[in-house]
Amino acid sequence: MKGHYGIKLWIKKLSVETGGIQRVTDEDRAKETSKVWNACTFWQVFILLTSTSLSANMAVATLNTGMVGGAMGLSFWDCFAIIIVINVAACLLPAWTATFGLTGLRMTTFSRYSFGYWGNLLVVVFSMISTTGWNAINSISGASVLYAVSDGKFPQWAGVIFICTTVWIICILGITWIHRLDAFFWIPPFIVWCVAAGTGAKHFDGNAIKSPTGANGAAAAFSFIAVIFSFAVSWINCAADYNVKMPVNTPRWKIFLATYIGIALPTVLVQTLGAALYSGTEVNPSWKAAYLDAGVGGPLKMALLPAGGFGRFLLVLAGLSSIPNNIPNNYSFALHAQNFGPRALQIPRIAFVTFGYMCAITVGCLAAAFFADTLQTFLSIIGYWTIIHLVIIIEEHVIFRRGRWSNYNWDAWGSQELLPFGYAAIGAFGAGFVGAALGMKVSWYTGPVAGLIGKKGGNVGHELTAGFCALVFPGLRWAERRWTGR
């Protein structure tokens, strides 16, 4: 008993989070609340007159995503236009879902009000796959930079293990420590990108690549749009998780605005730098060779070369930027997993954090060998299920709950008998994936509709997914409510 008390005392001293997906009630938030600026500082932005802090998006994986457009054959200026327009629009979506944290529920638990208790397992499974995939992609991006700075002596698999292990330790401590560390983690990558933009600028060439025209140009543009859109909306499934302790009377517009600026601003800036770096590989043979050898780490190393030893130090910091980038994925993985039923709720959050860590290492080490195809394929596919999730939540809230939060019974979050059956959401989920199958374009598959655009096909899976799902769900949900009363 004395030892047990000692452990509890250390947990309290270290501010280790012990809770799970249980709803944070108004009374709980009155005892220990988060400040409004936490919604902003977690996503890296200077908001109002407060100080800036880390963004999960100011990382090397964001840089890597910006390079995809050039690899698809698009010019820098076409990539820049897509990065600006798509992020300005798409970042509105996770900013809106971030306000859902005021319900006291994590996002994958809130989804039960649309998908039902057991139907929500679709959301849970795909959320866990998403976070594991992002863990792998972010870790590989960081590991490629560490590989480059070590001149190939530090293998990518070792970098993946190091990054994932550090993230695992932080996520075990929980949300309090995540917010504390995020207050400072933004500084190193911000310095890296500023220096890289300055020292590498003379090697950038906006005319290095000429975009294809006509149908082929449209196909490449659609495919890059899908990648950028998927990157932006990937935060939908976890943005609310970090706001559940805020006072219930916090204005939603403050959370929305802080989160929007915090996601959109660093994403646009870093992805644009990524597109510029790729243009350098098209006019400099040494940059091209570095890119083929080390991925994103190659051209970044070449851009920082004029900075000498300081540049190599900055490369290390760039590689480590994957750590804060991965924190929300590993942390939310555990919260997703606790939605598997009453027994899963009894399993400590730390156990699921550890399981997610093991999955991330396994997938990351295996995917590193085929990273180019893995990145494009994953970023395209992940957006399909995310848009289904979002469409169903929006239509449930706007059409069937009339846009009123008072039309939800917040005490029903864990009661199968009080939640919808979920038949409508499951049916709409299937319809959405039919649309995805028709319009998707990835390295190993081109849908029949996607194949009609240009010679190689263009990715229009997101548009078809949203359309199919949005058309099917209202009718099925109306029938479900009429027959079941829920």
**What pLDDT sits at residue 44?**
39
Angle at 25 between CA 345 and CA 424, to 5 degrees: 60
Higher pLDDT, 22 or 229: 229
**What pLDDT sits at residue 8?**
41
| Cβ–Cβ under 8 Å, residues 80 and 270 | no
**What pLDDT sits at residue 15?**
42
Asked which of 83-97, 131-145, 172-186, 235-249 is least confident by mean pLDDT, the reply is 172-186
**What pLDDT sits at residue 479?**
94
**Residue-averaged pLDDT of the chain:** 83
Higher pLDDT, 134 or 302: 302
**What pLDDT sits at residue 83?**
97
Q: Is the pLDDT of residue 65 over 60?
A: yes
Average pLDDT over residues 38-58: 46
**What pLDDT sits at residue 140?**
87
% of the chain beyond a pLDDT of 70: 86
Higher pLDDT, 428 or 326: 428
Angle at 90 between CA 88 and CA 91, to 5 degrees: 70
Q: Which domains does the chain have, with CATH numbers?
A: 26-371 (1.20.1740.10)
In terms of Cα–Cα distance, which of 271, 282, 273 is closest to 82? 271
Radius of gyration of the chain (CA): 22
pTM here is 0.85
**What pLDDT sits at residue 459?**
86
The residue with tokens 């929300």 is: 328
% of the chain beyond a pLDDT of 90: 33
Q: Is 54 left (phi over 0), alpha (psi -120 to 50) or beta?
A: beta
**What pLDDT sits at residue 385?**
85
How does residue 391 score in pLDDT terms, banded at 50, 70 and 90?
Answer: very high
Collapsing DSSP to helix, strand or coil, 446 comes out as: strand
**What pLDDT sits at residue 377?**
67
In terms of Cα–Cα distance, which of 181, 146, 170, 174 is closest to 60? 146
pLDDT digits (tens, 9 = 90+) for 251-277: 888 888 888 888 888 899 999 999 999
Q: Which DSSP category does 319 fall into?
A: H
- Give the HSE-up count for residue 202: Cα atoms under 13 Å, Cβ half-sphere: 5
Average pLDDT over residues 127-141: 85
**What pLDDT sits at residue 185?**
75
